[in-house]
Amino acid sequence: MYTIGNLFPRLCDPDFLDECANLATSGKKRRPDVAWFLFRREEELLHTQAQLADGTWLPADFEPRWLRDPKPRVIARAPVSDRVVHTALVKLMEPVLIRPLTDDCYACRPGMGTHRAVLRLMSLMQRHRFALHLPT
């Protein structure tokens, strides 16, 4: 089994979960589910931390919601406590997963979006006349 650092104890750290709760609820404090989570914040975080520590945490079911902006579609929303755990996992794992990527990998990376990829492509096209397209 391959492990990196001491990530699990950090995931179970109450202060780290509190920081992740701030990130997960940022800009959403008026939503009823987020407001209820924040009202019971300490109890919810202690419960989540205890479940993570003893290995009994399981993600809850997603709640389907219908949206109509600009077209009708269904989205699935996780409960707020699960979103806190998701945020914590991303915050812990992102540096580990991004480290081996090349500088020209733009998918789902902070600060590396479509616009930056297009700018990089344009700079490469100015330096090189030909390109080789390989099938995937």
Domain definitions of the chain by residue range: 7-103
pLDDT over 70 percentage in the chain: 97
**Each residue of 1-54: pLDDT tens digit?**
566 778 899 999 999 999 999 999 999 999 999 999 999 999 999 999 999 999
Quick one: average pLDDT of 48-76? 93
Residues 6+ apart with CB under 8 A from 17: 11, 45, 48, 49, 84, 88
Per-residue pLDDT at 111: 80
Catalogue the E-assigned strands of 38-118: 63-68, 72-77
Per-residue pLDDT at 2: 63
Rounded Cα–Cα distance for residues 8 and 74 (Å)? 34
Total-model pTM = 0.78
